[in-house]
Amino acid sequence: MTQRPRLSVIGTGYLGATHAVCMVELGYDVIGLDVDEAKIESLRAGKIPFFEPGLPELLGKHIDSGRLRFTTDYAEVAEFADVHFVCVGTPQKKGQYAADLTYVDAAFRSLAAHLTRRALVVGKSTVPAGTAARLAKLLADEAPNKEVELAWNPEFLREGFAVEDTLRPDRLVFGVRSEWAEQTIRTAFEPVIATGTPVIVTDYATAELVKVAANSFLATKISFINAMAEVCEATGADVTQLADAIGHDARIGRRFLNAGLGFGGGCLPKDIRAFIARAGELGVDQAVSFLRDVDEINLRRRARTVELGLDLLDGSYRGTKVAVLGAAFKPDSDDVRDSPALDVAAAVGRRGATVQVYDPEANASAARVHPELTYAASLDDALRGVDLVMLLTEWQVFRAMDPVTVGSLVAQRNLVDGRNVLVPSQWRDAGWHYRALGRP
């Protein structure tokens, strides 16, 4: 194998497309594969099929370089690459907590069938502990070349910061079973390692667990502060001041202590549920039973947000007009998977309000999931004539709103700040009825 291995990336969604483009930026030759032909067509045309800051510019920079191509053909990928990164989805199974591994299994089977030369297959998808060992056996059984090996390399990027997190990660985790696998995966991250990024080499189970443990910790931190928000509401205390005060303790830290509508997205919610399910199978359900509370606290915030709006509208949404600001699960993303904002918008709609949703990037993806809601073309359009404004995803454009200007557009000055990002006194001074989660 040459010093610089040739790479494939299988599954070009939020994770895979980012990984493929960033690895070209780092100097590798890369081929990306997806079973979704529309996605591959879009990438070939130099267009990222989702919103991620900085990624379109990087794709544009490299698309005509000859070092990045896209295909739907597994034979082409197996022929081209020395190291294959598997980045397909592992969503929550319908009606269950467990992860649906059918996409991972299908990707490994399709790739294995074509692996006639030595290669390292690297799992990046988030999977339940024990999956890598099973997939290593699958490769051993099904790949024609018996020197094919598996490594597990969990991914920690955040949407909205995906490029930065891929080029400059906090750490790299390599779950391997041989010296060759470790050396090979090191060559695939050589420029990242050269900048001093910490590398932790583990067995498969530890690598898999690092990922779900990290997400469980983050989810717990958010639900902890949201639990404090519930107590603040009962006592008249202010959770944002409380978070600032405890966050100054370096052992606690202020990051991920933003109370509000809680966590959503394609990772935290489904990863803690899959962890609960897997722990049950392993007979250690008690060890992670607290994650059920984490999940419940999180979902209660959505219900409470609907209630706050109800209070402002004197007990009924029926016949009212509501502006919902934000549909994505977080700012700087168009991802609406398990979006708290969209969940609340739909709940308010079901209670009889006419809901005008506006998100700077996620209107289209939201409309696919909730076509019954109305989507405004601009912030002003969303605000015009409404009885209640609900700020549910903290895009900068919403944080920067002026209470007087917004006040001139609405029918009634009622506001729910679902992310605790506005200054209450500014809005109250401008005649608004302001309500927030965990703040008086």
Ligand X SMILES: NC(=O)c1ccc[n+]([C@@H]2O[C@H](COP(=O)([O-])OP(=O)(O)OC[C@H]3O[C@@H](n4cnc5c(N)ncnc54)[C@H](O)[C@@H]3O)[C@@H](O)[C@H]2O)c1
Catalytic residues: 267
- Which residue among 1, 13, 213, 407 contacts ligand X (CB under 6 A)? 13
Instruction: Report the nearest approach of ligand X to the CB of residue 88 (Å).
Output: 4
Point out the residue whose Cβ comes nearest to ligand UPG.
267
- Which residue among 25, 29, 82, 155 contacts ligand X (CB under 6 A)? 155
> Which of ligand X, ligand UPG, none does residue 215 bind (CB under 5 to 8 Å by kind)?
ligand UPG
> Which of ligand UPG, ligand X, none does residue 87 bind (CB under 5 to 8 Å by kind)?
ligand X
> Which of ligand UPG, ligand X, none does residue 276 bind (CB under 5 to 8 Å by kind)?
none
Instruction: Please tell me the number of Cα atoms within 13 Å of 309 on its side-chain side.
Output: 32
**Contact call for residues 82 and 7 (beta carbons, < 8 A):** yes
In terms of CB distance, is 125 or 298 closer to ligand X? 125
The whole-angstrom separation of Cα 389 and Cα 358 is 11
**Contact call for residues 124 and 156 (beta carbons, < 8 A):** no
Contact set for ligand X, span 33-62 (CB under 6 A): 33-36, 39
In terms of CB distance, is 86 or 313 closer to ligand X? 86
Tell me if 404 contacts ligand X by CB under 6 A.
no
> Which of ligand X, ligand UPG, none does residue 329 bind (CB under 5 to 8 Å by kind)?
ligand UPG
In terms of CB distance, is 184 or 333 closer to ligand UPG? 333
Instruction: Report the nearest approach of ligand X to the CB of residue 90 (Å).
Output: 4
- Which residue among 8, 42, 92, 125 contacts ligand X (CB under 6 A)? 125
Contact set for ligand X, span 86-115 (CB under 6 A): 87-90, 103, 106-107, 110
Instruction: Report the nearest approach of ligand UPG to the CB of residue 166 (Å).
Output: 10
Q: Provide the binding-site residues for ligand UPG, judged by CB under 6 A.
A: 126, 155-159, 215, 218, 222, 256-258, 260, 262-265, 267-268, 271, 329-330
The whole-angstrom separation of Cα 343 and Cα 418 is 13
> Which of ligand X, ligand UPG, none does residue 88 bind (CB under 5 to 8 Å by kind)?
ligand X
Contact set for ligand X, span 220-279 (CB under 6 A): 266-267
Instruction: Report the nearest approach of ligand X to the CB of residue 124 (Å).
Output: 6
Sign (positive or negative) of CA dihedral 272, 275, 280, 286? negative
> Which of ligand UPG, ligand X, none does residue 268 bind (CB under 5 to 8 Å by kind)?
ligand UPG
- Span from 82-90, 231-239, 378-386, 396-404 in contact with ligand X (CB under 6 A): 82-90
Query: SS3 string of the chain?
Result: CCCCCCEEEECCCHHHHHHHHHHHHCCCCEEEECCCHHHHHHHHCCCCCCCCCCHHHHHHHHCCCCCEEEECCHHHHHHHCCEEEECCCCCECCCCCCECCHHHHHHHHHHHCCCCCCCEEEECCCCCCCHHHHHHHHHHHHCCCCCCEEEECCCCCCCCCHHHHHHCCCCEEEECCCHHHHHHHHHHCHHHHHCCCCEEEECHHHHHHHHHHHHHHHHHHHHHHHHHHHHHHHHCCCHHHHHHHHHCCCCCCCCCCCCCCCCCCCCHHHHHHHHHHHHHHCCCHHHHCHHHHHHHHHHHHHHHHHHHHHHHCCCCCCCCEEEEECCCCCCCCCCCCCCHHHHHHHHHHHCCCEEEEECCCCHHHHHHHCCCCEECCCHHHHHCCCCEEEECCCCHHHHCCCHHHHHHHCCCCEEEECCCCCCHHHHHHCCCEEEECCEC
> Which of ligand X, ligand UPG, none does residue 436 bind (CB under 5 to 8 Å by kind)?
none
Contact set for ligand X, span 305-364 (CB under 6 A): none
In terms of CB distance, is 104 or 139 closer to ligand UPG? 104
Tell me if 123 contacts ligand X by CB under 6 A.
no
Instruction: Report the nearest approach of ligand X to the CB of residue 201 (Å).
Output: 20
Point out the residue whose Cβ comes nearest to ligand X.
13
Residues near ligand X (CB under 6 A):
10-16, 33-36, 39, 87-90, 103, 106-107, 110, 125-126, 155, 157, 159, 266-267
